[in-house]
Structure 1
């Protein structure tokens, strides 16, 4: 209390009610203060994302650890700087974590943003057997890359895994469009009708979030 120069009345509370007074002080002045500082820091990083990058770069300079590399790469990915994200993810993988699923799936996201489909195929091959790969966005991106490379049957095999009810609405719309491009209208229609039906049970926040997706689904259904 003296260190942080809190008001003097805390002295009386802590001295005369040592147990209760100390608990009240810790809850109101220490833990809440830490939460407030954490929230303030997060808001600052959202408003000024380059500050987060600079802070993480300083951490990396201080300690070039695997986690600091990954944290910096994640921050670059968040702001859309895919090349720097890929660079730092690769540096992290050069250590003893060459099969780290988390890092590779994020790299695949960055490669997708950069339209580097060959790299997607290369890195996806290394995590295909991982339990978390199946029905993940990484597998969906892998399917799209296969489509770009003209491997349509393999693409469909991977894209169809994303067709999970009450989830992946945007990805399922893309999959339905893929099926339409291959003249598989009935399959595409089933997916679109499922999304349309599920949208009736969405929470209000999800309805706002997927508003454009649902609108496009309804528009396509009218033409099938």
Structure 2
């Protein structure tokens, strides 16, 4: 795998998620864009040197041993060791839950609605919690309905919004959408969800003139945040 130094942590995490943690990494200086020919030539020499070393390194070397990283960079381990993935006893204590989730980097840092079992079950409305919509890049974990429901609750969605979120995730997981590219790029991109037809009134999405600018638009903000 070849990449630039700022993506080394992500590369190690993805290799762990895919079960190929022994694959050597070839890391060159970041960035590539806007570099003059001398800079490109220097990076090419870095890649050739590391490829030569990789070809002469026994299989099973630890990822990152071959790649040249930035000084002092902290490497991310595979997902299984990045965070405590055990269940957290969820109480209806917004401040305590926010502190616990922020400590584990499970949220965006803004206030959240505690995803209690009752709220998650209400969001699911009888849908099979273990049903997976597919593997979500870039860490390729299964996007189950329960995980979506937990995120929807935390973002402040109402149960009537959940079918819209499920449809949106299904659409984004289509290979032609290239969600991996959206999730992994450094460019400022984000999915745009357009709701139309009979589902629009049920979801309470804003519509008509100036639909994107009303000050009070809880559906648009909570649904977007949950994704």
Q: What is the TM-score with the length of structure 2 in the denominator?
A: 0.28
- More strand by proportion, 1 or 2? 2
- Bigger relative CO (Cα 8 Å, ≥ 6 apart): 2
Q: What is the TM-score with the length of structure 1 in the denominator?
A: 0.28
- More helix by proportion, 1 or 2? 1
Larger radius of gyration: 1
